[in-house]
Structure formats: structure tokens, C-alpha cells
Amino acid sequence: MGLVEVIEVTRAARAEDLLWEAHLDRPVVGSRHGGDALEIMGWVVGRDGPVVAVEVVQGDAVVRRVPPNHHRPDLAAAFPAVSYATQGGFRLRVSVLGVQPEVVFEVRAVLGDQRRVALGTIRTRRLWREEEARFGGALVSVIIPCYNQAHFLGEALASVLGQTYPHLEVVVIDDGSTDNTGEVAARYPGVRCIRQSNQGRAEARNAGLRQSNGEYLAFLDADDRLLPEALETGLASLAAHPASGFTSGRCRFIAADGSPLDTPEFDVPVSALARDPYLALLERCHIWAGSGVMYRRSLFEAVGGFDPTVGVCDDYDLYLRVTRDYPVSWHDGVVSEYRKHGTNTTQNPGLMLRSQVTVLRRQRQYAGERGGPYAEALRRGIRQTQREYYGQFLVDEVQASIHSRRWGSALYGLSVLLRYHPQGFWQVAQEVKRLLQSTIGQRWGT
């Protein structure tokens, strides 16, 4: 982690009508603090009763609030007539992850009637370590869309706050969750949580774009995790490829409980992807997890944000829009963990077939203008999606629904197949025909 130096501690003028006395013991001017937090210690004795809380404010936001219940026997001797003085000590830690080069923290007491009394200010500055200096101390924004995945969100946040590259900000977009997403986010100092009505993952990501400040961007799904060197690795790759709009690494699979799962070998070398990323991505999406990608913010200024009209494959759509006009890069580093559980969107073949075929069909004009290899790669991509991946999975699902007489599910699947995989529709239609013939034959004894 980086270092934070305390360059000024200023004591506020005592409000004699409200406080007997107060003092900031720590930090002291000139002290340097490693890790991800700054420790603040002191004491405060209210005149008309005990102080109910001490809070630390950065800008307009309260970043930490604790009750002053740290036992201080020395205060009993200093204020013998004040029975509650011994409980006037406080000790707290505030996050310094993602702070600007210089930050002022204000410490203030909260009285029983909720009035605030200033105790002092602490001015800090970041000391750049070697890895930060290599990237000019650039701020990385990590954006986490979350919809009803509070049970995973804590792990995602912990993985971001544990990065070896410390100059970052974390923005959680609560996309209309009905669980305790906001409460979980609030447990992590320095994390901003912005709530909006449910609009889907693409719009949540776009909201994160608008609400963040970093020169570099990473998007982490709330059920996934970053490995400790993910941001540092992404920055190093972009530094090595200054023309790249984004860089992508690899992921490994984990189970719902976070335990490791077997991850298939990545069968396409980085060198092959780098030769023509657009051609490679037309045939197959070689980016298994969006959490493995780091972007330059300037890229979004050129191509726009995520397109909500394409459904759940909005990231695949973005990769194609970028690579057809701009260079990108890949690296071999494993930088994230993709959690496989029962509610992954990839477990819904109808949703995935509809979205992925829509994304690929939108590339017809561009692939056609570039000529034979691109048009053929696009045809192979659509064909594989339909016959080998989600289309065939949906065919199997619809057939199972028909046999178990789940007609609503079967009709939905048939409507998706008709539009996005006609061959699969006729495959199921033949199965329905055989089933009807068999049923009629049994009824009429033929």
C-alpha cells in the first residue's frame, strides 16, 4: 500500500458553553501511515452531558462515526466533578484508499441534541510509492453494479480495498435492490453507494461512469472478486500499450461459497488475439469476465457507454464497438475470480441467446464492409452461438418443458428460438409433432 503523511493538525477553538475540554492525541504532524487507514485518537468531555458520538467529515460527507466510549482513567483525575468523563475517549480509523493527493478531515463532536461541535482538522497528503509513480499517481475508478446481491457484495468490496495499487475510488451502484445492498456498502469506509431505480446492468454501469472520476476504469460485478494485483497488472499493461483503449486479462472460476473450481485452459494465445482483436471477437467472445478488463476513460468519450438495448451482453457489444475502430491489448495475468452460482445470467440460455445474437447481428454492416474474413467470422460466431452454445441449451430446455408440460416456459423458449435460432425452432417443432403423433396413436389405439 501507499503512505499518507500528516502535514497539519489544527485544534478548533473550544466552545466553552458546550464542552469542558477536548483534545486530538493522534495523529501527530509529520507521522506517516501505511496500509489503508488513518488512526485518529483523542477525548472530549461535554458540559451538559456525555457526547454521543465523534464523527469525521471529508468534504460534505461523514466518513466515520463512533461513540466516545474508549475508557480514559486519566480524565477522572482531570475532571473529578464530571461522572461521565472517564468514557470520553475515542479511537477510530478512516479509510485513505482512493483519496486525492491532499485531503482535509474534520473531526467534530455530536451532542445529545445533535448539535455539532468542531474539535479540529487533520490535513494529509499521499506519498507516492514506486508503482504509483510509474502511472503518475493516476486514479482508478472501480465501479460495482449491484442488484440484490448484497450477500456477495462484501467479498467484492474487500477484494477491491485489498489491491496492491492504492490510489483508487470505489463506486457501488445500487440498481434498485430490495435487499440490504446499501447497508453492506456503508460498512466499508470510503466506498460511495449511489442508489437508482432498477434499470439493468448496462445503465448501472453508465451511472458509475458518470459518478466516477478516475482516468482508468474497471467494472466488477457484485458476485465476483478481484485478485490483489489486478489493478496494478492492468495499469502496467496499458502503460506497455499506450495506444490501447482497454486491456484484458484472465479469470478463474469459483463456486458460490468462494471455493475454487476447475477453470478450462485459455485456448487462444495472446499473440493471436492481438493480431486482429475485432476478427477474433466476432467469432467468439474471448473475454470470459468483464472484471478482467481495464479501460481508459477517454475510450468512453470516443465510443459512448454501455448499450442497454442489447440486453445482458452489453459488455460484448462494447468490446466489438471498440475493437472495430481502436487498438486494444491482452495480457496473460489472472486478475479476477468469476463466481458460478445458480443465478448467473449465463445460466439463462434464452436470455443469453437473444442478447448475444442481437449483438452479433448489429455487426453485419461493419463486418460486411471489411470483407470476406470478417463476414465469415461473424457467420461462425452466430452459428456457434445458435448450435453449440446457448441455442442448443435452449432447445434442450424447451424440449424438457414440453415433456413435463410446463407450457408457459415452452412457449417463451419457442418464441426466442423462432426469432434468434430458427433451425432450433424447427428441431423442437419436429419433437412436438412426434409427441402429438404418439399421444394420438395411444389414444386411438393405432
Going by pLDDT thresholds of 50, 70 and 90, the confidence category of residue 427 is: confident
pLDDT of residue 418: 86
Mean per-residue pLDDT over the chain, rounded: 88
Confidence band of 136 (pLDDT split at 50, 70, 90): low
Closest CA to 212 of 328, 295, 147, 293: 295
* Cβ pair 360, 382 in contact under 8 A: yes
Does any domain span residue 23? yes
CA dihedral sign of residues 22, 25, 29, 34? negative
Give yes or no: residues 206 and 259 share one domain.
Answer: yes
Query: Do both 146 and 117 map to the same domain?
Result: no
Task: Write the burial class of residue 327 (CB in 10 Å: 0-12 exposed, 13-18 middle, 19+ buried).
Answer: middle
Mean pLDDT, residues 140-155: 96
Average pLDDT over residues 310-318: 94
Let me know whether 414 and 393 are in one domain. yes
Is there a single domain that holds both residue 281 and residue 423?
Answer: no
Residue 144: the pLDDT is 98
Tell me which range, 74-78, 161-165, 226-230, 340-344, is most confidently predicted by mean pLDDT: 226-230
Domain identity same for 286 and 157: yes
- 405-416 pLDDT per residue, tens: 888 888 888 888
Interval 236-247 mean pLDDT? 92
353 in a structural domain: no
Whether 98 has a pLDDT exceeding 80, the answer reads no
Kindly state whether residue 110 falls inside one of the protein's structural domains: yes
The one-letter amino acid at 29 = V
The alpha carbon of residue 27 and the mean position of all alpha carbons in its chain are separated, in whole angstroms, by 32
Cα gap 295→201, rounded to integer Å? 17
CATH for 177 = 3.90.550.10
Say yes or no: 166 and 210 in one domain. Answer: yes
User: Helical H runs in 260-406?
Assistant: 270-275, 277-283, 297-303, 314-323, 349-361, 364-370, 372-387, 390-403
In a domain, 358, yes or no: no
Q: How many structural domains compose the chain?
A: 3
CATH of the domain at 55: 2.60.40.10
Phi, psi of 56, deg, nearest 5: -115, 130
Q: Which domain holds residue 411?
A: 380-444
Q: How confident is the model at residue 198 (pLDDT cuts 50, 70, 90)?
A: very high
Kindly tell me if the per-residue pLDDT of 35 is higher than 70. Answer: no
State whether 90 and 184 are in the same domain.
no
Distance CA 152, CA 392 (A): 31
34 falls within a domain = yes
Q: From residue 285, how far is each of 193, 211, 278, 385 by CA, in Å? A: 31, 28, 10, 10
Are 26 and 62 found together in one domain? yes
Last residue of a domain, one of 75, 107, 127: 127
Q: Which cell numbers in the block locate residue 437?
A: 403423433
Per-residue pLDDT band for 404 (boundaries 50, 70, 90) equals confident
Asked if residue 283 belongs to a domain, the reply is yes
Q: Which helix (H) or strand (E) holds 414?
A: helix 407-420
At residue 439, the pLDDT reads 66
pLDDT range class, residue 200, cuts 50, 70, 90: very high
Confidence of residue 1 (pLDDT cuts 50, 70, 90): very low
User: Within this chain, do residues 77 and 154 fall inside the same structural domain, yes or no?
Assistant: no
- The sign of the torsion formed by the CA atoms of 156, 157, 158, 160 equals positive
Taking residues 436-445, report their average pLDDT. 63
Of 127, 161, 178, which residue constitutes the final position of a domain? 127
Q: What is the mean pLDDT of residues 256-279?
A: 85
Q: Pick the residue with more confidence: 324 or 386?
A: 324
The gap from C-alpha 362 to its chain's centroid, in whole angstroms, comes to: 27
Least confident interval from 2-11, 94-103, 198-207, 222-231: 94-103
Residue 82 lies in a domain: yes
Q: What is the 3-state composition of the chain as percent helix, strand, coil, each rounded to the nearest 5?
A: 40, 25, 30
User: What is the β-pairing status of strands 32-33 and 3-11?
Assistant: antiparallel
pLDDT at position 445 over 60: no
Q: Which of 136-145, 183-192, 372-381, 388-397 has the lowest mean pLDDT?
A: 388-397
Does 434 map to a domain?
yes
Average the pLDDT over each of 101-110, 334-343, 359-368, 380-389 and give the range with the smallest value.
380-389
* Section 151-172 average pLDDT: 93
Q: Are 121 and 36 contained in the same domain?
A: yes
**pLDDT, position 100:** 61
- 162/86 same-domain check: no
Residues 265 and 326 in one domain: yes
State what percent of residues in the chain have pLDDT above 70. Answer: 91
Q: Pick from 299, 326, 347: which residue ends a domain?
A: 347
